[in-house]
């Protein structure tokens, strides 16, 4: 009699556990949606400081995560610009566009960790090739490149030079744009001030076309127009440079003449 009683209780307990699991994992998400998770999920046996699983943008924190995050937070100093590269595998999503969106979300998650500054950062989505069992095991999906601020921003009196951190991209970090706006100052209210904008194309290796230099100059021109400058006072031209540091060849030089 006692055996039947205990068997009944065990069966009842198992049924309760199964029903709870079914509700939590299947029923509740279907009717209410999964709650978004921005913080990392800590995985005890993960031998990577930060990783992701197939098709997911939720970061997993493993061994060395605290030290990794502490080192990453140093970019908040004004001495560096950070490029956060989010990677994706082509089979993770149904299209390249969806894959790029996944990669950008992964990169954004990293910037959200510990409230890292976005003013000093740029996000880049890139594909990668499968070289391990990534469908079932966590993998690295983030690459970080740090660039010295002195390589992308130089100011000398009435001349400023802004360089584009990412090859074939016309995007500048917000910090550089803010510094540029501050440099422009109130000269937009002085009609006698003329500004010359020189777009630079990379002339080393396989040289960039002149059109790329002009596109960089146009980006700066549009930024000036947004801050109140008349287009007639902005004079555009182009040039090339072959500096060993390639980032110094993707610049725009701006100088004022009164």
The reply to whether 206 and 108 lie within a common domain is no
The reply to whether 137 and 49 lie within a common domain is yes
Tokens of 147: 């660039």
For residue 86, the domain's CATH number is 3.30.1330.60
Percent of the chain with pLDDT over 70: 80
The reply to whether 23 and 63 lie within a common domain is no
Kindly state the average pLDDT of the residues 127-154: 90
Distances (CA, A) of 164 to 52, 134, 138, 172: 29, 33, 33, 6
Residue 207: the pLDDT is 81
Task: Tell how many helices (H) and how many strands (E) occur in the chain.
Answer: 7, 11
The reply to whether 81 and 136 lie within a common domain is yes
Tokens of 91: 């089979």
The reply to whether 167 and 226 lie within a common domain is yes
218 burial class (0-12, 13-18, 19+ CB within 10 angstroms)? Answer: middle
Residue 232: the pLDDT is 92
Averaged pLDDT score across all residues of the chain: 84
Total-model pTM: 0.75
154, 160 contact by CB (below 8 A): yes
pLDDT tens per residue across span 79-92? 889 899 999 999 99
Residue 153: the pLDDT is 96
**What DSSP line would sit under 36-100, residue for residue?**
P--SPEE-TT--SSEEB-TT----EE-TTHHHHHHHHHGGGSTTEEEEEEEEE-TTSSSSHHHHH
The reply to whether 191 and 251 lie within a common domain is yes
pLDDT at 30 over 60: no
pLDDT grade, residue 111 (50/70/90)?
confident
Stronger pLDDT, 6 or 176, i.e. the higher one: 176
The reply to whether 139 and 167 lie within a common domain is no
Residue 19: the pLDDT is 66
Q: In angstroms, rounded to a whole number, what is the distance separating the alpha carbons of residues 84 and 105?
A: 11
How many domains does the chain divide into?
3
Kindly state the average pLDDT of the residues 166-174: 92
pLDDT at 149 over 70: yes
pLDDT at 186 over 60: no
pLDDT tens per residue across span 211-248? 999 999 999 999 999 988 999 999 999 999 999 999 99
Radius of gyration in angstroms for the set of CA atoms belonging to the chain, rounded to a whole number: 26
Query: Which domain, by its residues, includes 58?
Result: 41-149
pLDDT grade, residue 24 (50/70/90)?
low
Residue 33: the pLDDT is 39
pLDDT tens per residue across span 34-45? 344 456 888 888
């Amino acid at each position: 009699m006692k055996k039947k009683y205990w068997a009944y209780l065990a069966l009842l307990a198992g049924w309760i556990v199964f029903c709870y699991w079914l509700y939590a994992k299947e029923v509740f998400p279907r009717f209410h949606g999964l709650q978004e998770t921005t913080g990392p999920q800590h995985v005890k046996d993960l031998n990577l400081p930060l990783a992701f699983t197939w098709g997911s943008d939720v970061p997993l924190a493993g061994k060395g995560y605290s030290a990794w995050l502490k080192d990453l937070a140093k970019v908040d100093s004004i001495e560096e610009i950070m490029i956060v590269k989010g990677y994706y595998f082509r089979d993770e999503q149904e299209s390249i566009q969806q894959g790029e969106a996944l990669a950008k979300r992964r990169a954004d998650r990293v910037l959200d960790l510990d409230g890292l500054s976005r003013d000093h950062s740029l996000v880049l989505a890139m594909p990668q090739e499968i070289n391990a069992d990534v469908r079932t095991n966590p993998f690295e999906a983030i690459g970080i490149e740090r660039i010295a601020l002195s390589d992308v921003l130089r100011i000398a009196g009435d001349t400023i030079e802004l360089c584009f951190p990412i090859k074939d991209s016309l995007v500048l970090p917000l910090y550089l744009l803010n510094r540029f706006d501050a440099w422009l100052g109130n000269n937009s209210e002085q009609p006698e001030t003329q500004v010359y904008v020189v777009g630079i194309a990379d002339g080393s290796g396989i040289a960039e076309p002149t059109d790329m230099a002009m596109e960089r100059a146009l980006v700066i021109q549009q930024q000036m127009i947004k801050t109140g400058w008349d287009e007639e006072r902005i004079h555009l031209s182009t040039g090339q440079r072959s500096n060993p540091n390639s980032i110094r060849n993707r610049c725009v030089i701006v100088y004022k003449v009164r």
